[in-house]
Amino acid sequence: MSGNVRLLSDTLAAAKEEGRSALIAYLPAGFPTVDGGIEAVKAAIEGGADVVEVGLPHSDPVLDGPVIQTADDIALRGGVRIADVMRTVGEAHAATGAPILVMTYWNPIDRYGVERFTAELAEAGGAGCILPDLPVQESALWREHAEKHGLATVFVVAPSSKDERLAEITAAGSGFVYAASLMGVTGTRASVSSQAEDLVRRTRATTDTPVCVGLGVSNPAQAAEVARFADGVIVGSAFVKRMLDAPDDAAGVEAVRALAGELAKGVRGQV
């Protein structure tokens, strides 16, 4: 079975045709439980997210801030496994028809086996993988298997990336480019870094692949701000915080649905 890289590309293109940015939500698998995480992903899409990144919880995340680390700890203590991540992708995609990616550090894939991981992700209907710590120059094996199984390979670029490096990264990636709006870890912030717009401009100079901005976007006004210059707006910590703050799992799912609706208005400039 082939993965859904084409669905991802078509979804981003459809948002562009509507004259807006796509809304991309991030939620970790297994949080607050495996079933609860699946419901949260479905709620994000039903609320207005175009694409969802499902996080593979990791004990030593290098990019994730305290909010997502807390959720990952809950998921890991609950015994979440890669099979649960695949189930989350599969059930959420089957229920919504939306493109679902996995965001993961390289070590779990390396231990699991690249061929096995890509084959199972494609079988689940996944659209691809975001790999924040896999260097492009070490990615040939991954890209070979991802391409074979119809999966996007999304690399992360940062404000510190030189133009030559940006060209190298964008030439190797597919689906979209994840532009980290600032140096540091994920988390909600009072304002979105001014470096983000310059990074998008420099990245676009190297590729026609959509450029989506993450790190720091937490409310509709910030989503609208980023949507002015990016092809997609990525929101993670704000969704997770809504779930952490909710009195129970059901309320957390509804909080995700509500935030997705608010942010969907933001990317459409309706704030």
Residue with tokens 């129970």, as numbered in its chain: 248
* 64 tagged catalytic: yes
At 61 the three-state DSSP class reads: coil
Residue with tokens 């040939």, as numbered in its chain: 140
Phi-psi region of 217 (alpha: psi -120 to 50; beta: other; left: phi over 0): beta
CA pair distance 208, 91, nearest whole angstrom: 31
Catalytic residue among 53, 91, 120, 197: 53
Helix (H) or strand (E) holding 21: none
CA pair distance 271, 256, nearest whole angstrom: 18
Catalytic residue among 39, 50, 64, 91: 64
CA pair distance 107, 40, nearest whole angstrom: 26
Determine the residue type at 227. Answer: A
* 120 tagged catalytic: no
CA pair distance 118, 104, nearest whole angstrom: 13
- Write out the catalytic residue numbers: 53, 64
